[in-house]
Amino acid sequence: MKNHVFIATSLDGYIADIEEKLDWLPTSDVGDLGYEKFIESIDAIVMGKMTFETVLGFGGEWPYDKHIFVLSTSLKTVPEKLQEKVTLLKGTVQEILNTIHTKGFYNLYIDGGKTVQNFLKDDLIDELRITTIPVVLGDGIPLFDVLSTSLEFKHLKTEIFLNELVQSHYVRK
């Protein structure tokens, strides 16, 4: 049972700009940055409402083959075409994990700012794979929030893509 993060940040640590936009992320000719191999090892994806709504806003085909668990206290339904692919959950992080595990999903991709932050606050992130994009946003949605205690990770490796995107992979000590 492991909880993984695979995410991009700006140089100053933001995952979205101040308007919650992602248009600063490179979209063409970057390859998959190891995402395909990563996602093959994942059983399901856990994301917050904002991330879910952002993905819905992209339009087009639903981009995920894995089951999605959306954490929300306000969403009551998902679009009909996604009813078999998306489950809404609410509760504490541990209650959510228990529910997901009873459904047979153990290796989870944790996605979205608040969701990652909440899992970190409960010390429930096992791996971080962070790709740094060479842009300073100045403000926005941070990847990290205040923690009551430090969490130590071991650096596994760092790769450079396109001579400018830096991806570092860490695991919990």
DSSP secondary structure string for all residues of 130-141: EEEES---SSEE
* Whole-number Å distance between alpha carbons of 52 and 55: 5
Residue 57's pLDDT is: 86
Average pLDDT, the chain: 93
45-87 pLDDT tens trace = 999 999 999 888 887 888 899 999 999 999 999 999 999 999 9
Domain spans, the chain: 2-161
| Residue (of 96, 95, 6) closest to 51 by Cα position | 6
Residue 30's pLDDT is: 73
Q: Count of CB atoms within 10 A of residue 158's CB?
A: 12
Going from the C-alpha of 60 to that of each of 55, 56, 57, 63, 106, the distances in angstroms are 10, 9, 9, 8, 29
Q: Who has greater pLDDT, 32 or 4? A: 4
Quick check: 143 pLDDT over 80? yes
Percent of the chain whose predicted confidence (pLDDT) is above 70: 99
Place of tokens 């450079």: 160
Residue 61's pLDDT is: 85
* Whole-number Å distance between alpha carbons of 132 and 144: 14
Quick check: 31 pLDDT over 80? no
DSSP secondary structure string for all residues of 33-52: TTHHHHHHT-SEEEEEHHHH
Pick the CATH number of 2-161 from 3.20.20.150, 3.40.50.2300, 3.40.430.10, 2.40.110.10: 3.40.430.10
- Confidence band of 28 (pLDDT split at 50, 70, 90): low
Residue 60's pLDDT is: 82
Exposure of 106 by Cβ count < 10 A (0-12 exposed, 13-18 middle, 19+ buried)? middle
* Radius of gyration for the chain, computed over Cα atoms and rounded to the nearest angstrom: 16
Quick check: 134 pLDDT over 90? yes
Cα 52–chain centre separation: 11
Residue 58's pLDDT is: 83
97-131 pLDDT tens trace = 999 999 999 999 999 999 999 999 999 999 999 99
Residue 93's pLDDT is: 95
Quick check: 144 pLDDT over 90? yes
